[in-house]
Amino acid sequence: MIIDRQFRDKIGGMVTGKVLFDEPMSMHTSMGVGGKSDVLIFPDTVRELKRLVSFFLREEVPFLPVGNCTNLIVRDGGYRGVLISLEALRRLEIRGQNLPRKFTLKEKYAGSVCVYAQAGVSLSGIVEFSIRESLSGMEFCAGIPGSVGGGLKMNAGAWEEELKDVVKSVSILDTGAKTREIKRKDLPFEYRNLDLPEGTIITGADFHLIRGSRNEIQGKVSDIIAARREKHPLAYRSAGSVFKNPPGCPAGKMIEEAGLKGLRVGDAEISGKHGNFIVNMGNAKAGDVITIINTVQKKILSERGILLETELKIIGNEL
């Protein structure tokens, strides 16, 4: 792809939001590592997003949606193409209550409530919203730093709950740049994945929440945040759990039992607090993190015959 003046002017004219060229992704990933993306663009509306994607498809420009980049690293050689951040799509509202045609006041306040959130809304934003509105169902997302779009793509979860349990439908831009809504029953959720065709962009979702007691919801959220502070190395930059948990034994426990806690390459280190976190102790490079990942995979494979699969997404080119 040639990023010449004409290309820059063309895509710059398609959005009202920011367009960054040669943007160091270390400035955007939660782990603080990664090379430059040719372009990082922030459409302000779904209409702008649609226009952009239609253009990229026509011109065969590689592109990839990103959320808060909390489960993503870009290799040190950077990403050749356009990363599309949906950060500006932030609508969050109550859409309606699923009530029978005739209902009592008691039923009105006991009913299930549909909350619509655009892809750029942060999961913590929905958690705060649901506390304010006394809605229960999203508490498990407290402390997960992703966005609605990235969260759904990853089927983010904790405490034995996942986004698949609360989602009603997902709005997407399909691989032909057409807007569509997919109902829950047709969404192929898996453990830490929503298996949509490559190139699909999630633009928003309806969630099914239940009216509850604000104090109870707030209490549950506070307990979760406290438990996370205790278990996770939150003082350092990371991308959360690096590996998926294979059935039977958590990846962090296997890493700990293999004596790998504290393993350091450059400024990247396996956290002494939690074996499934790699933390950036200063100026880590994506290459340092990937070297640790490869070392862990080799050791666990040779000792246990299990290949740990990464939960973390790694994109871009090597240096």
Ligand X SMILES: Cc1cc2nc3c(=O)[nH]c(=O)nc-3n(C[C@H](O)[C@H](O)[C@H](O)COP(=O)(O)OP(=O)(O)OC[C@H]3O[C@@H](n4cnc5c(N)ncnc54)[C@H](O)[C@@H]3O)c2cc1C
Of 15, 46, 57, which is closest to residue 172 (Cα–Cα)? 46
Q: Which of 238, 245, 280, 310 binds ligand X (CB under 6 A)?
A: 238
- Write out the binding residues for ligand X, residues 62-81 only, by CB under 6 A: 64-72
Q: Which of 19, 40, 115, 144 binds ligand X (CB under 6 A)?
A: 144
Backbone phi, psi, residue 279, to 5°? -115, 150
Q: Please state, as a whole number, how many other Cβ atoms lie within 10 Å of the Cβ of residue 13.
A: 9
Complex with ligand X: residue 138 or 202, whichever CB lies closer: 202
Tokens for 114, please give them.
């549909």
Q: Is 61 in the site for ligand X (CB under 6 A)?
A: no
Q: Are 304 and 250 in contact (CB under 8 A)?
A: no
Complex with ligand X: residue 75 or 153, whichever CB lies closer: 153
Q: Cβ 101 to ligand X, closest distance in Å?
A: 36
Of 196, 38, 222, which is closest to residue 119 (Cα–Cα)? 196
Q: Is 311 a catalytic residue?
A: yes
Q: Is 122 a catalytic residue?
A: no
Residue 101 CA to residue 126 CA, distance in Å, equals 28
Complex with ligand X: residue 70 or 136, whichever CB lies closer: 70
Q: Is 202 in the site for ligand X (CB under 6 A)?
A: yes
Complex with ligand X: residue 154 or 293, whichever CB lies closer: 154
Check residue 26 and report its DSSP letter.
G
Name the catalytic one among 30, 37, 169, 241.
241
Name the catalytic one among 37, 192, 237, 238.
192
Q: Which of 32, 137, 151, 252 binds ligand X (CB under 6 A)?
A: 151
DSSP 139-208: GGGTT---BHHHHHHHT-EETTEEGGGTEEEEEEE-TTS-EEEEEGGG--EETTEE-PPTT-EEEEEEEE
Residues with a known catalytic role: 192, 241, 311
Where along the sequence are the contacts to ligand X (CB under 6 A)? 30, 64-72, 86, 119, 144-147, 149-151, 153-154, 156-158, 201-202, 232, 238-240, 313
